[in-house]
Amino acid sequence: MTKTNVAVIFYSMGGTNVQLAKWAKAGAEENGAEVRLLKVQELAPDSVIEGNETWSKTVEQTKDIPVATSDDIEWADAIIFSAPTRFGTVPSQLKQFIDMQGPIWSQGKTVNKVVSAMTSAQNPHGGQEATLLSLYTVMMHWGAIIVTPGYSDPVVMNAGGNPYGTSVSVDQSGNMVEDVEGSVKYQAKRTVSIAEMVKNGTK
């Protein structure tokens, strides 16, 4: 039985979703997956980024992480997205990456990809659930198989109880409010398990 390929694809301005993605990578690897940790291309001009200390720090810290491509989507059996909410939907950087997948989508190469997602916002009602739902709408167009944590493990409730995917609130100092590491790793492991079933045709 071959390993399940997982692409963990993130966008992060303040560093929160970098950490979520790293926890997802760890969880997937603990479940035996082959994992690629990837970022989407930054679109903001350097002049804007350089004027924001936190943003600049995140760019520097992630400079050696590869930028996701269509080849990564084709390679992956499962994809875990992590990105902050922007007015109830995903950031433009992630949206552009998704929009650029038209050629492989039209060839049916996104069909049956197993997909899950995580997000963050500065408050619990800042669009976390809407962001995940908007991303999953796109995944329906892809023909992907959406895997959410639901309430399938107590760790989900311990992290705030978002059944659509792990989400975390971030305070004004950039610190995560809820303890979500366990939930992220559980969500990644669940995603890998479902992807293995799909890949190997088992139940």
Q: What local confidence, expressed as pLDDT, does residue 173 receive?
A: 86
| Residues near 50 by beta carbon (within 8 Å), at least 6 away in sequence | 56
Q: What local confidence, expressed as pLDDT, does residue 174 receive?
A: 87
Backbone angles phi, psi at 20, to 5 degrees: -60, -45
CATH class label, 5-200: alpha beta
Q: What local confidence, expressed as pLDDT, does residue 2 receive?
A: 87
**Which string of DSSP letters, residue by residue, matches 6-35?**
EEEEE--SSSHHHHHHHHHHHHHHHTT-EE
Could you list the pLDDT tens digit for every one of the 203 residues in the chain? Answer: 689 999 999 999 999 999 999 999 999 999 999 999 999 999 999 999 999 999 999 999 999 999 999 999 999 999 999 999 999 999 999 999 999 999 999 999 999 999 999 999 998 889 999 999 999 999 999 999 999 999 999 999 999 999 999 999 999 888 999 999 999 999 999 999 999 999 988 65
Q: What local confidence, expressed as pLDDT, does residue 76 receive?
A: 98
Query: Quick check: 70 and 7 in contact, CB under 8 A?
Result: no
What are the structural domain ranges in the chain?
5-200
Beta strands in the chain (DSSP E): 5-10, 34-39, 78-84, 114-121, 145-146, 167-169
